Each structure stands twice: as C-alpha cells, then as structure tokens.
Amino acid sequence: MTLRLTDDEQAALRQRAEREGISMQDAARRAVRDYIAHGEHRDRVDAAAERVKTAHAGALKRLSE
C-alpha cells in the first residue's frame, strides 16, 4: 500500500512521530488502528441505541406526544 500525503500532512506526521520517538510508519499504523477501533466502537454504540429504541418504542412514543 502506498500512502500519499500532502507536504503539510507529511511534515505534521514527521513532527508528531519525532515527539513520540517513533517512526512515521509506526505513527501512521497507530492512526489506522485508532481509526478502526473508533469505527467499531461507533458501530457498537449505534447497535445498542437501536436495541434500546426497539425495546422502549412504546415509552418513547408516549414521551414524544
């Protein structure tokens, strides 16, 4: 895989990685893992909210009247 960054993005990534004492590659891989984890968390929250809405549909309807 090739990751193309703008000059500004590359400079920011380089600076962030240097501050943390890691390579740019490790910083990018960490960002990808965080992005995936955040998306999976959002999916679980959405699913839980849907279960609550379904389980309490009657009460929610009465509250909105």
| Residue 24 and residue 14 in contact, taking contact as beta carbons nearer than 8 Å | yes
pLDDT given at position 65: 86
Q: Report the candidate in 3, 45, 47, 43 with the shortest Cα–Cα distance to residue 27.
A: 3
For range 5-14, the mean pLDDT: 97
CA 52 to chain centre: 23
pLDDT given at position 31: 96
For 58-61, the CB contacts below 8 A with 24+ separation are none
pLDDT given at position 22: 98
For range 13-23, the mean pLDDT: 97
pLDDT given at position 24: 97
Structure pTM? 0.72
Q: Report the candidate in 1, 37, 31 with the shortest Cα–Cα distance to residue 16.
A: 31
